[in-house]
Amino acid sequence: MGTVILIRHARSVANAENILAGQTPGVRLDSTGVAQSKELIETLGPLPLKKVFVSPLERCSETIAPWLAKYGSDITLQSDSRIIEPDYGLWSGRKLEELALEPLWKQVQGDPESVQFPNGERFVDVWDRVTSFYQSLIQIASQEENFLIVSHGDIIKFLIAHILKVDFKNFQSLVVEPASISVAQIAADGARLLQFNRTEQPLAESLVRMVTKTLGGEGNHSSKGVKD
């Protein structure tokens, strides 16, 4: 049985403006996200890892770069296209509040298996490529090796859904916030979740803030109480 650490990328400039970035290249971390990435140095500390998997998008590699600079000299960094953000097609670059008015939005929330993003991916194809990645993870984690994965909100939710055996149609019941950490143990005969959506956010903020269903993961805040 191996241990897998799942990290959603820190706050990006698109997150800060409530824009659905999708696979748009060049979307970097904002100043809050940079601070969050540096906080991971202390939060994670030195870890006995075999490999770090990252989405090909810049905001993910930027998130883990400070930790790798301090602790990752002997760790392999591997980009994997199966854990890239969904291709939202014509929805990419648009404000989330505008997209919430689209008829397709209700399908995204209630019937994701039927969703085809305009000029983009079918949501079920995203689920399938993440499933393929998870199956690969089972094989290598079963060798009692430890891994770290840095990806996007929906991708992390899909991976956790597999760990918890949550159906695709119900994945929106999970909340994964920027720079959050989840930890699971995975083996060929099963998996278990040890920690979920761990952030530096004070607990009181969670009690007064309503988290709405969205795309690309939730948040719109940071560990310092600012907008995600």
| pLDDT above 50 for 221 | no
Is 50's pLDDT higher than 90?
A: no
The third-level CATH classification (topology) of the domain covering 2-208 is Rossmann fold (3.40.50)
Least confident segment among 39-48, 168-177, 201-210, 213-222: 213-222
**Residue range 103-132, pLDDT digits in tens:** 999 999 999 999 999 999 999 999 999 999
pLDDT at 227 over 80: no
pLDDT of residue 18: 94
Mean pLDDT of the chain: 91
Q: Collapse the DSSP code of 181 into the 3-class scheme (helix H, G, I; strand E, B; otherwise coil) and give the result.
A: strand
DSSP tag of 169: G
Where residue 68 falls (left for φ over 0; alpha for ψ -120 to 50; beta otherwise) is alpha
Tens digits of per-residue pLDDT, 124-146? 999 999 999 999 999 888 788 89
Percentage of the chain lying above the pLDDT 70 cut: 89
Q: Which phi-psi region, left, alpha or beta, contains residue 179 (left: φ > 0; alpha: ψ -120 to 50)?
A: left
Q: In Å, how far from its chain's centre is CA 93?
A: 18
Give me the percent of the chain exceeding a pLDDT of 90.
Answer: 81
Q: What is the pLDDT of residue 142?
A: 78
SS (H, E, C) 104-153: HHHHHHHCHHHCECCCCCEHHHHHHHHHHHHHHHHHHHCCCCCEEEEECH
Q: Where are the domains of the chain?
A: 2-208
| Predicted pLDDT of residue 201 | 72
pLDDT at residue 212, as a whole number: 66
pTM of the entire predicted model: 0.91
Q: pLDDT value at position 223?
A: 36
Higher pLDDT pick, 187 / 56:
56
pLDDT of residue 217: 64
Rounded mean pLDDT, 68-96:
96
- Whether residue 89 has pLDDT greater than 70: yes
pLDDT of amino acid 143:
81
